[in-house]
Structure 1
Amino acid sequence: MSTLTRTTGPAAPVREQRPQGKGLRGGQIGLATATVIGVSTIAPAYVITSTLGPTADVVGTHLPAIFLVGFIPMFLVALGYRELNRALPDNGTTFTWVWKAFGPRAGWLGGWGLLAANIIVLSNLAGVAVDFFYLFLAQLTSRPELADLAANPWVNVATCLVFMLAATWVSVRGLHASGIVQYLLVGFQLVVLGWFILAAMSTSAPAAHVSMEWFNPMGIDSFSALAVGLSLSIFAFWGWDVCLTMNEETKAGERTSGLAAGITAVVVLGLYLLSAVAATVFAGIGTSGLGLANPEHAGNIFAVLASPVMGPAAILLSLATLSSCAASLQSTMISPARSLLAMGHYGALPQAFTRVHPRFGTPAFATVIAAVLSTGFYALMRFVSLNVLNDTILALGMMICFYYGITAFACVWYFRRTLRGSVRNLMLRGLAPLLGGIALAAVFFQTVIDSLDPAYGSGTQLGGFGLVFLVGAGILAAGALFLIRARHRRPRFYTTVAQCAPAEPGPGN
């Protein structure tokens, strides 16, 4: 067990144990529910409809290859997460682990990256949910003009607010209530996705024929294209770590949450590979018509493929995507709310964030704050960029690479004294997270360089800089500024020094 040394000035340091108990209700869910919530957070239907287009635009038919390559660094990082979760089970995850490894300032920035990624994706989920809500109404009533309501920014943002309120209400009621909702929404989503895959693969007039070359990442033209594709692919797998933020509320704690995260990642990989192949076979990668690279529907592939692929049952695909967004909108709130709770618990944020609902045992205050920030960010982006979904996905990739990468490096540093204890330690605590972190860092810096071009993403620019760069780099810079302010307001936390590695190597460390 690691310990902390907290210094508050010239006085002698005092050793104190890691604070226990944040008021959360333990043992609420088991492995199956944790896995369902993990799949729900990733939201396969939402990810497929929002990323296949932008990814096909940069890597062509190599969609399966980019998903496979994107899975590798995520898998390597996940091994490091698993080790950290076993040694330091804490719902603060990135914030807590980076703090213990590198100190409070790095911990703040890591936690900020996680929070920023979740705030961005919550707004993006709400945007896709709004689009499919009005598309579903148009299909249900046979009035195509209803689908156009999503293009009205005022109607769009107002509808987004309603979705956010509903998701917040369910989240505050606890993981048990969330699990019941998720079983229904995720189950329906997976059944309809399976239907779409089978229907697309059985088309009598395929636009492309399956080739093993689709699975070859070496066929991608340039590293820049590979980096963009990887950024989108990494976004596609992002969300499995929500299982770890529930480790204080699951049965059997860190063991259940770690296993749920692994199962979640494997399930969604299979779905992505099958969906990428099926969509490419049916529509091809052209830039016109139904082609996946057509910029007119790049951010919402299912909106145009649903009817051609599924015929009269197309409304089910719209409803499945809406269900996917609604389910993920609710479950994604779990991670930022619990990270904010942990940051408040350890003194990095005001004590208000430690407020737990007296009846449901959930971080109610932090959940509401996460919803407010997400809604505000979405409203701002909706009025600034007409292609808000694509731009926020690309910016989100930067945030994910940043906080997953720094957590991977934290794993190596935290366990540095135990790496020579066994081959297992060397591989799982050292080599795997190190390679995963390096890969994510490479994608992060390449994305930053590419996004400096105003034409990157939707082409929206402010002051000569592309919107993707301004959103991604601007959020990280804002985190650094908030850190400066936080150091003055809460000096006790920022003078904490962590004893950052297990004292002795061995099987149990």
Structure 2
Amino acid sequence: MEQGAAHAGDREDLKAKGLSGNTLGLLGGTVIGISTVAPAYSLTVTLGPTVGEAGLRMPGIFLAGFVPILLVAFAYRELNKVLPDCGTSFAWSVKAFGPTTGWMCGWGLLMASIVVLSNLAGVATEFFYLSLGEATGSPDVTELNDNKAVHILTTLAFITAATCVSYRGITVTEWLQSVLVGLQLVVLALFIVMAISTSGEAEGALDFSWYWLDPFGVESFTAFTAGVTLSMFMYWGWDTCLTVNEESIGSERTPGRAALLSIVVIVCTYLLVAVGAQMYAGVGTTGTGLANPDTADNVFAALAYPVMGSGIGVLLFVAVLTSAAASLQTTFLPVARTALAMSTYKALPTMFAAVHPRFRTPSRATVTAAVITGSFYTLMTLVSENVLLDTVFALGLMISFYYGITAFACVWFFRRELRRSPGNLLIKGLLPGLGGLMLTGVFLRTLRDAWEPSYGSGSSVAGIGSVFVIGVGLLLLGAVIMLLMRRHSPEFFRGEVLHRATPPLVIED
């Protein structure tokens, strides 16, 4: 029995959204996936905190965080083959587990995107003034970033610019991202070569050791899970390849291949940068040491000139700026298309189902996401700068939540096909199931550790860690909104719009 024919009935209630079809190929999808991950941005903000948790085992922690992501990628690929819908995790988990679980899974994806958008915008602003200050030779220009009003206004300008590009269509996005992704990968490759080749000249430099790649030597399980949570933040975004499936050439297979290709490129880049940075700078707490608390939130700013020299070191600033700006634009794709799908199936107000007649983009969903992102960032910045760091840790809760549900959705959706062949059992069952279990473990352990104020930035609310308050608070907010939508749109929650799948009876040969 062919897979497509076996699940033909499950696709009957999937609805076209009016997006521009047959636009993105394998290369375009891969570029968008890499861009959303934003390797240069992700590395500069997480190298330091990860070293703080894992020490010399930082490269190993990157590998450990990659494993569940890779396993979940198989789930995404298999589900997309039979249910190519831009709602991805939302639509698939509805099909597997029903409307309530599906709605919360979609909410987790939406909140993860909003949190990432706010952080991306802030980092883009910081590196904008760093780059501008270096170009003009004026410290006063660099210090404009420390002016809270100027910083917030500039951040809102970046959000507005990214919104405009996303609003105008996927073709503009693909062209722009190809240039920006190419730039940051070239600069990172140059950094890797120069860091490794000059490592013997730097204070605190270390010789490479294979035990760096062993994540199980981390001193405590709490440090291990915190490191894995940070690394998952670094990998987040590859699934954007799937949210543009309705706009891809070969919507059933191309997005899945693009996702796998993008995460392979990302993990290779991360490992090489981690090893190169550690060989050059070491893990000391002073100077250029990666564990220096004064530079931990922006490692590349401290390493750019020592590693690459005054002539071309500024390229690293530019790479991080373009990385954050590019990812800011592409991150609007998953949040807008998930909201579009949820609205189309009446899980959210139908106003978000509007598609621009000329650009074929989810116009209202895109603009709404921009307004929420700008408001969230402004509020968080005014409350406390530490809150923004805690949102990075809280993001790990969101990611493990909706990725885990998606992994289990794959196992349950294909449950009657697992005994048909060893390949089905492995790819549709064991690998996604193991990924789901790993992510569940990370989610539960992070909940436990985040309760303590010492987790994350060390801030707290009424004695409870800020990471716990932000992460759990956003999920509870989703539960409240879901209850309101249940009254507003009961037909979705009765399963009348998007039906829960009935697995086909697989007849053994």
TM range, normalised to the smaller chain? Answer: over 0.9
Equivalent residue for 2:192?
197
- Equivalents in 1 of 2:500, 2:399: separation in Å? 27
Within 2, Cα distance between the matches of 1:59 and 1:262?
A: 27
Q: How many Å apart are 1:50 and its aligned residue? A: 0.8
Q: In structure 1, give the amino acid aligned to 2:325.
A: A
Matches within 5 A, 1:102-117: 102-117=97-112
Deviation at 1:389, TM superposition (A): 4.3
What is the Cα deviation at residue 96 of structure 1?
0.3
Structure 2 equivalent of residue 92 of structure 1: 87
Q: Deviations over 1:61-102 (max 9, x none)?
A: 111111111111111111111111111111000110111111
Higher mean C-alpha displacement, 452-461 vs 105-114: 452-461
Show CA shifts across 1:349-381 (max 9, x none).
111111001101010111111111111111111
Greater Cα offset, 162-171 or 204-213: 204-213
SS at match of 2:361: coil
Equivalent residue number for residue 486 of structure 1: 485
1:259 to 257, 267, 270: 257
Which of 23, 28, 31 is matched with 2:23 structurally?
28
Q: What's 2:146 paired with?
A: 151
Q: Secondary structure at the match of 1:61?
A: helix
Query: Are the equivalent residues in 1 in contact too, given 2:34–2:262 (CA < 8 A)?
Result: yes
Q: CA deviation at 1:293?
A: 1.3
Measure the CA separation in 2 of the matches of 1:29 and 1:454: 45
Q: Give the match for residue 237 of structure 1.
A: 235
Q: Is the 8 A contact 1:3 1:499 kept in 2?
A: no
Whole-angstrom CA distance in 2 between matches of 1:446 and 1:246: 32
Is this contact kept in 2: 1:103–1:496, CA < 8 A? Answer: yes
User: Gapped runs of 5+ residues in structure 1?
Assistant: 5-15
Match of 2:162 in 1: 167
Aligned to 2:294: 296
User: Relative to 1, partners in 2 of residues 1:506 and 1:248: Cα closer, same or farther, differing over 3 Å?
Assistant: farther
C-alpha distance in 1, partners of 2:149/2:506? 59
Q: Distance in 1 between matches of 2:507 and 2:269?
A: 38
Classify the secondary structure of the residue corresponding to 1:381. helix
Aligned to 2:4: none
1:245 to partner: Cα distance: 0.7
Q: Compute the displacement of 1:2 (Å).
A: 5.7
Deviation at 1:150, TM superposition (A): 1.5
Aligned residues: 496
Amino acid at match of 1:231: T
Helix, strand or coil at the partner of 1:18: coil
Question: What is the Cα deviation at residue 385 of structure 1?
Answer: 2.2
Distance (whole Å) between structure 1 residues aligned to residue 306 and residue 386 of structure 2: 24
Tell me if the contact between 1:44 and 1:268 (Cα under 8 Å) persists in the aligned partners. Answer: yes
Normalising by the residue count of structure 1, what TM-score does the alignment of the two structures yield?
Answer: 0.95
What's the offset of the Cα at 1:506?
Answer: 7.3
The aligned counterpart of 1:12 is none
State the 1:434 CA deviation: 0.8
Q: Match for 1:29: what amino acid? A: L
Match of 2:45 among 50, 53, 66: 50
* Pair 1:506–1:381, CA change in 2 (3 A): farther
Is the deviation greater in 428-437 or in 389-398?
Answer: 389-398
Cα shift readout 1:264-308 (whole Å, capped 9, x = no counterpart) = 000001100000001111111112221111122212111111111
Question: Partners of 2:387 and 2:268 in 1: how far apart?
Answer: 28
| 1:151 shift after superposition | 2.0
Q: Which runs of 5+ in 2 are unaligned?
A: 1-6
Match of 2:505 in 1: 504
Q: CA deviation at 1:455?
A: 1.8
2:14·2:85 contact (CA, 8 Å) conserved in 1? no
1:330-369 matched pairs, under 5 angstroms? 330-369=329-368
Distance 2:78 2:507 in 1: 13
User: Quick one: which amino acid aligns to residue 281 of structure 1?
Assistant: M
> What residue in structure 2 maps to residue 61 of structure 1?
56
User: Contact (CA 8 Å) 2:418, 2:429: kept in 1 or not?
Assistant: yes
Identity %: 52
